[in-house]
Structure 1
Amino acid sequence: MSAPITRTGGEPDIAAVAALLADRSRARLLSALLDGRALPAGRLAAEAGVTPQTTSSHLGRLLEAGLVTVERSGRHRFYSLASAEVATALEALGRLAPEPPITSLRQGTRAQRLRDARTCYDHLAGRLGVRITAHLVDIAVLRRTDGGDGVHRSHSDALSSPAHGSPYELGARAAEGLARWGVNLAALREHGRSRPVLRFCTDWTEQRYHLAGGLGAALLRSVRDQGWVEDGPRPRELVITRRGEEALADLLGASPA
């Protein structure tokens, strides 16, 4: 069994994490958790396409490294990603990784659904996530602070990296604008002190910023609670409902995706 990955204040041991992710089965297990769910080992194995016989061993190594956590509920143990930072790192690696060729209509349809709307851990991603972020910039909910334009990535942010710090701050119309999306900014600030309100990812399919952090999570919860999006047939996929099409078209001014 591998030694735990520790933080000693020296140079990060990237190779230790990379060695864990170099195994395709472990990488698939982590990817299956990228939508923020907690899953029992059997369900996780099925969704990741990993044999149940090896899943326990892989999860043990990921637990030891601090990449996943486990919570017992009744007879089952539920596994989830250890933090948003783990999800961000996996998304960044996804931008670096080569895309496998699409060899069937089914694969092509799934790839399109993922590009249109998906979850990135606990927030919106894909065209929909980028589109909403751009809209929040347009209505002065978000104000760019690094001299950049709209949701285009800063020159200081590589395509394979999350945004450094936050290229935005909350604008003058933040509370008013977010209320239209069902998000109470004052409550978010009050109850979300342990997590930054604003964080951003460079979307791996769109190569532009989408909103993450506490506000991104609150926005996804809101659109789900209002029935504007629902889970698609595969993990991480989101489908815009008929109600959502009408609401998002009203808010965004055009087709939502």
Structure 2
Amino acid sequence: MVTAVSVAQVGALVGDPARVAMLQALMDGRALTAAELANAAGVTPQTASGHLARLLAGSLVTVVKQGRHRYHRLASPQVARLLEGLMLVASDAGNPKPRAGTRDAQLRLARTCYDHLAGWLGVSLADTLMARGWIEIADDAALVTPEGLRRLTALGIGVDVGPISIARSRPLCRPCLDWSERRPHLAGRLGAALCTHCLEQGWVRKRSNSRALEVTPIGWRALDEVFEIRPPSASK
């Protein structure tokens, strides 16, 4: 049962800058070691160990053991949604906004939000699919149309359309409000499939130690041909 106390406990866990930095580092779906997360948060390994123990106890992260190493990852897509929502609220908090740098611009153009595409690129994909009638979005719900399933399958974008089970309760398609664009990108199984397809085809590639994605020259050509998506400067 969710109580005021349990909500406050989660709030306390994400109320520390170092822990937030660790969780943000895990938002691209990677599993990282304690040393890597300590570096991301700018704290000592001993301090990072204490923070990770609290995040593990609070079910915000999980641990995967491989040989002598322990890798940490977000416990679920819901944790990524929580962080994305907090970033949206933080960007509207009325605090003086720092001057946007190169890294910030890269994150706003294209990034991962757990296992789906976010930023300008993610929102543009959602806009295109909706304009073509392949998906429908209303408020906090979305669906893939029969025409959309046919078209996506023809493009080689494999989407698991099996019924939702207790073991796999993730929806097929769900809007996720983008903190930088203030409009929805796509999450759920379809969002993950689109991200996987773009990575496997070499349309985008991950940047080292960042959630930012780089759209490759091949990617821009393919995105234009398949989805009529052009670089922001070329779209104006």
State the secondary structure of the residue aligned to 1:71. Answer: strand
**1:182-204: per-residue Cα shift (whole Å, max 9, x none)?**
3133xx12497512111111100
**1:36-68: per-residue Cα shift (whole Å, max 9, x none)?**
111111112112322212000100010001110
State the secondary structure of the residue aligned to 2:156. Answer: coil
- Report the CA distance between 1:19 and its aligned residue: 1.2
Work out the number of aligned pairs and report it.
226
Query: Is 2:48 aligned against 1:76?
Result: no
Which of 217, 221, 230 in structure 2 is aligned with 1:242? Answer: 217
Identity within the alignment, %: 43
2:86 maps to 93
State the secondary structure of the residue aligned to 2:101. Answer: helix
1:189 maps to 161
1:4 maps to none
Aligned pairs for 1:81-160 (under 5 A) are 81-98=74-91, 101-102=97-98, 108-144=101-137, 146=138, 154=139
Cα contact 1:202–1:210 (8 A) shared by 2? yes
**1:5-61: per-residue Cα shift (whole Å, max 9, x none)?**
xxx354563211111111111111111111111111111211232221200010001
Structure 1: give runs of 5+ residues left out of the alignment.
1-7, 147-153, 155-162
Q: What residue identity is the alignment partner of 2:220? A: E
2:25 maps to 32
1:207 maps to 182
Which of 9, 12, 33 in structure 2 is aligned with 1:19? Answer: 12
State the secondary structure of the residue aligned to 1:13. Answer: helix
Give the alignment's TM-score, normalised by structure 1: 0.81
In 2: Cα distance, 1:235 partner to 1:56 partner:
22
Which of 60, 69, 79 in structure 2 is aligned with 1:67? Answer: 60
Q: What residue identity is the alignment partner of 1:182? A: G
In 2: Cα distance, 1:100 partner to 1:76 partner:
41
1:218 maps to 193
2:40 maps to 47
In 2: Cα distance, 1:44 partner to 1:64 partner:
17
In 1: Cα distance, 2:67 partner to 2:193 partner:
29
1:38/1:192 Cα in 2 relative to 1: closer, same or farther (>3 Å)? farther
Query: Is 2:166 aligned against 1:170?
Result: no
State the secondary structure of the residue aligned to 1:78. Answer: strand
In 1: Cα distance, 2:153 partner to 2:41 partner:
38
- Report the CA distance between 1:180 and its aligned residue: 5.1
- Report the CA distance between 1:181 and its aligned residue: 4.3
1:158 maps to none
Superposition RMSD in Å: 2.0
In 2: Cα distance, 1:71 partner to 1:213 partner:
23
**1:196-254: per-residue Cα shift (whole Å, max 9, x none)?**
11111110000101000111011101110000000124410000011101100112324
Cα contact 1:38–1:78 (8 A) shared by 2? yes
1:130/1:180 Cα in 2 relative to 1: closer, same or farther (>3 Å)? farther
Give the alignment's TM-score, normalised by structure 2: 0.88
Cα contact 1:26–1:58 (8 A) shared by 2? yes
Cα contact 2:124–2:229 (8 A) shared by 1? no
